[in-house]
């Protein structure tokens, strides 16, 4: 139940039941498709971003806006593990998830953006619900959503600087005290750090 034909060998033998749907959709929006664990992920170029969502909504009945967020693929890591895979290039990957409300089909759209100045068109005109999700992604990752009606901070206080979900953004509690965290893999600190008093 928890596993699906995910390893490539099996996938080659038996085509995934969603393969036809995924290929057709990817062709219609000009993207490349990847199916893993019963999810369809379609990567589209930035210039097709809005058009792809329009097509998905109007032609494929994917009317339900689930979420929009981003992944920071970075080498400069302030907390957590750096990327294990050397091949991965630095980028901000925007992901959005849309679904239908009848059969349970769901598609993740993905788009790679420049790591330093990520910019992409806003989806607010296509899915009204994208409004808050884009504000969140904007403050957390520093993405500029062109055409967004009100790209102000959502969670963070007005005077906040920085983009907290960027991998380069330090986590203050970890700066002063590595524990608690991945105790099993990290050495305990030699002595309590005094560098950030009052943090």
Partner 1 sequence: MAIDQDTLRHMSEASVSVELETQDMTLNIGPQHPSTHGVLRLVATVDGERVFGVRPVIGYMHRGYEKLSEVRTYPQITALINRIDWVSGYANEVPFIVAAERLMELEVPERAQFIRLILTEMARISSHMVFMASYPLELGAATPLFFALRERERLLDLLEGVTGGRFHPNFNRIGGVKPNAGAGPTQKKTPQDLPAGFFEETREAMERIRHAADQLEDLIAGNEIIRARTKGIGVIPPEVAVAYGLSGPNLRASGVGFDLRKTENYLPYHLFDFDIPTGENGDCYDRWWVRLQEIRQSCRIIEQAIDGVPEGPLQAKVPKVIKVPAGEVYVRAENPKGEMGYYLVSDGGQGPYRLKIRSASFSNISVLPWALENVLVPDIIAIMGSLDFVLGDVDR
Nearer to partner 1, 21 or 169 (CB): 169
Query: Residue 169: CB partners within 8 Å, gap ≥ 6?
Result: 78, 162, 163
- Least separation in angstroms between CB 167 and partner 1: 8
- Least separation in angstroms between CB 57 and partner 1: 9
Q: List interacting residues with partner 1 (CB under 8 A).
A: 1-4, 6, 36-37, 39, 41, 63-67, 69, 71-72, 79-81, 83-85, 95, 97, 101-104, 106, 108, 127-129, 131-132, 140, 153-157, 164-165, 167, 169, 171, 174, 180-182, 184-185
Nearer to partner 1, 11 or 154 (CB): 154
Nearer to partner 1, 104 or 192 (CB): 104
Nearer to partner 1, 19 or 108 (CB): 108
Measured between alpha carbons, how far is 93 from 137 in angstroms, rounded to an integer?
Answer: 11
- Least separation in angstroms between CB 80 and partner 1: 4
SS3 of 14-40: the string is: CCCCCHHHHHHHHHHHCCEEEEECCEE
What's the full length of the chain, in residues?
199
- Least separation in angstroms between CB 190 and partner 1: 20
Nearer to partner 1, 32 or 47 (CB): 32
- Least separation in angstroms between CB 4 and partner 1: 7
Nearer to partner 1, 21 or 47 (CB): 21
- Least separation in angstroms between CB 64 and partner 1: 5
């Amino acid at each position: 139940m928890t596993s699906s034909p995910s390893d490539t060998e099996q996938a080659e033998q038996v085509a995934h039941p969603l393969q036809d749907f995924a290929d057709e959709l990817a062709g219609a929006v000009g993207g490349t498709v990847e199916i893993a664990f019963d999810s369809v992920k379609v990567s589209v170029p930035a210039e097709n971003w809005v058009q792809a969502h329009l097509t998905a909504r109007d032609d494929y009945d994917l009317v339900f806006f689930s979420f929009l967020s981003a992944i920071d693929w970075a080498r400069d890591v302030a907390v957590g593990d750096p990327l294990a895979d050397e091949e991965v290039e630095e980028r901000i990957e925007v992901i959005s998830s849309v679904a239908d409300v009848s059969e349970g089909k769901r598609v993740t759209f993905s788009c790679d953006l420049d790591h330093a100045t990520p910019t992409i068109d806003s989806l607010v005109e296509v899915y009204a619900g994208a409004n808050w999700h884009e504000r969140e992604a904007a403050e957390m990752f520093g993405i500029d959503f062109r055409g967004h009606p009100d790209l102000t901070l959502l969670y963070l206080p007005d005077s906040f600087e920085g983009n907290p979900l960027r991998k380069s953004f330090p986590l203050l509690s970890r700066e002063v005290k590595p524990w608690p965290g991945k105790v099993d893999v990290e050495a305990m600190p030699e002595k309590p750090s005094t560098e950030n008093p009052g943090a």
